[in-house]
């Protein structure tokens, strides 16, 4: 059964260290990089099999926003588990109980826009699953229950603007801050943030809040990548285009069929990219944004 963090006591109890204050261990890691095999991405000899660089055995992964059975978060959690990771998933609703049972992972309920709930989540995961090595910040994408605000800036209320920023950017900030300290102490980590083509690559009318937040995710990704590179942590982002999920509208799906590949993408295709960036084989990639849109963003004009 997935625990509901809203029923827990005040955040900050237990052994969770303040991630905003680097410990002596973290400062030591910066000054004297570890060369131990357990703390570094060691090159794998060809005769050991290329599959070894794709395994995540012994690692703990957290995937946020995994409540939908046909969403990117769920597909990512399933793939990371298949690669050997112990996986924790989180959502804002109790449907995460069903997803956790289906995947055979540990689920948590928390509102990741609330600082105290993120702190409680961090304590609970460490206690029940272990120290997090891999973080996929997927929470924030629009859903049927929490649709994207579509309104021109002149008509956008401050509350609507804040809701888009908090849901799509603040969540990534709060959750990353809660776990980067532990990753740095272990000298290894992977963070993958979900951006979007809207904002970093292009924009549409009436989507200012969403576009600004997703562009902010890329900025956060690059800043974190530079802050954490000496600690053995890579930070990257993926920018999906039109992906066929349970939240997709008929208009979006129709637009997907107009892409160069002639179809929208699938959550599994996005998950495969995320999983690669989480793997030991992606150890020399950091601060990057990988667009997953079937070539739509590079097309100059519609094909005839």
Q: Return d(Cα 133, Cα 145) in angstroms, integer.
A: 30
Alpha-carbon 30 to chain mean position: 25
Going by DSSP bridges, is the β-strand pair 86-91/106-109 parallel, antiparallel, or unpaired? Answer: parallel
Catalytic residues: 210
Instruction: Copy the structure tokens of residue 240.
Output: 């999906």
Task: Tell me how many degrees the CA angle 195-136-21 measures, rounded to the nearest 5.
Answer: 100
Sheet harboring 60-64: ordered strands across? 106-109, 86-91, 60-64, 134-137, 189-194, 233-240, 289-292
Torsion of CA 41, 51, 80, 176, to 10 degrees: 20
Local structure of 107: helix, strand or coil: strand
């Amino acid at each position: 059964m997935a625990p509901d963090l809203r029923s827990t006591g005040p955040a900050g109890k237990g052994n969770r260290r303040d991630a905003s204050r680097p410990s002596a261990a973290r400062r030591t890691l910066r000054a004297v990089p570890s060369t131990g095999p357990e703390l570094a991405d060691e090159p794998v000899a060809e005769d050991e099999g290329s599959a070894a660089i794709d395994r995540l055995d012994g690692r703990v992964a957290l995937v946020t926003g995994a409540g939908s059975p046909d969403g990117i978060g769920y597909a990512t959690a399933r793939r990371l588990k298949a690669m050997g990771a112990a996986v924790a998933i989180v959502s804002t609703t109790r449907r995460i109980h069903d997803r956790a049972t289906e995947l055979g992972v540990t689920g948590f309920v928390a509102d990741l826009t609330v600082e105290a709930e993120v702190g409680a989540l961090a304590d609970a995961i460490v206690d029940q699953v272990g120290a997090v090595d891999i973080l996929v910040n997927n929470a924030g994408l629009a859903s049927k229950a929490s649709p994207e605000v579509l309104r021109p800036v002149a008509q956008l209320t401050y509350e609507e603007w804040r809701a888009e920023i908090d849901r799509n950017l603040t969540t990534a900030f709060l959750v990353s801050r809660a776990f980067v300290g532990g990753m740095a102490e272990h000298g290894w980590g992977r963070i993958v943030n979900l951006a979007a083509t809207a904002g970093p690559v292009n924009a549409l009318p009436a989507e200012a809040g969403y576009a600004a937040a997703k562009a902010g995710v890329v900025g956060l990704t690059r800043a974190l990548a530079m802050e954490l590179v000496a600690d053995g942590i890579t930070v990257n982002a993926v920018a999906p285009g039109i992906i066929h999920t349970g939240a997709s509208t008929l208009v979006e799906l129709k637009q997907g069929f107009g892409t160069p590949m002639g179809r929208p993408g699938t959550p599994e295709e996005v998950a495969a990219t995320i999983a690669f960036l989480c793997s030991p084989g992606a150890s020399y990639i950091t601060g990057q944004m990988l667009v997953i849109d079937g070539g739509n963003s590079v097309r100059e004009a519609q094909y005839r």
